Amino acid sequence: MTPRVSVLLPYRDAAGTIEEALGSVLGERGIGFEVIAVDDGSRDDGPARVAAMARRDDRVVLAAAGGVGIARALTCGVEIARGELLARMDADDVSTPGRLAASAAMLDACPELGAVGTLVEAFPDEAVGEGTRRYVAWLNGLVSPGDHDRDLFVESPLCQPSVTMRRESFAAAGGYRDMPWAERRRAERRGREESLRSSLGRRRAARRAHL
């Protein structure tokens, strides 16, 4: 059966966190999905850990990008993804149960939206500094398309590892591209013009902070 959601999870040298991150996604219930785990040139045993999980769970799809950088690694994942919805995940974060199902339900209920994100929580507490707390508070305050449009050039108004988007909206916005900050913001504005974005009003992703 074709999965409804393809989760894009690029990673490099993430042996210490990849199993927790991948396992958190695999704990999702109530929706068909696959996880495209793209090794982008790891030098540790992260790929072996992911391969072991793939042997136990056929929802994990292995891919390798060879150290080309995150944008092209993500594009590699998109090229083999089968879902009508594309979701993001990072190798050092945690996805809480219900995230994918809730995101898909919101996209179903709001056909004018092309992408949704979730509220996020930084962890572990001992590594979360004041700057990170302010950033998370700002990010979680952006819940409507108008909020996103207003603050687009401050920083990305959607935390990428919490995003789920329609494949056609992603393609219309030009896909993933390597580009400087200002050009990236202009590309995001073009994506904003293609389709509105919004955020779910519940914490469904945890963003790891590092000491």
Global pTM reads: 0.87
Nearest to 132 by CA among 208, 21, 18: 208
Rounded average pLDDT over 200-204: 55
pLDDT value for 187 = 47
Helical spans, DSSP H, in the chain: 18-26, 46-56, 70-80, 99-109, 130-140, 145-150, 167-172, 181-194
pLDDT in tens, 56-88: 999 999 999 999 999 999 999 999 999 999 999
Question: What residue ranges do the domains of the chain occupy?
Answer: 5-208
**pLDDT of amino acid 11:** 98
Q: 197: which strand partners?
A: 115
C-beta separation of 206 from 97 below 8 A: no
193 pLDDT band, cuts 50/70/90, is very low
pLDDT value of residue 188:
52
pLDDT score for 90: 96
pLDDT in tens, 152-186: 778 878 888 899 999 999 998 888 877 655 444 44
CATH 3.90.550.10 fits 5-208, yes or no: yes
Angle, alpha carbons 129-141-192 (nearest 5°): 115
pLDDT grade, residue 41 (50/70/90)?
very high
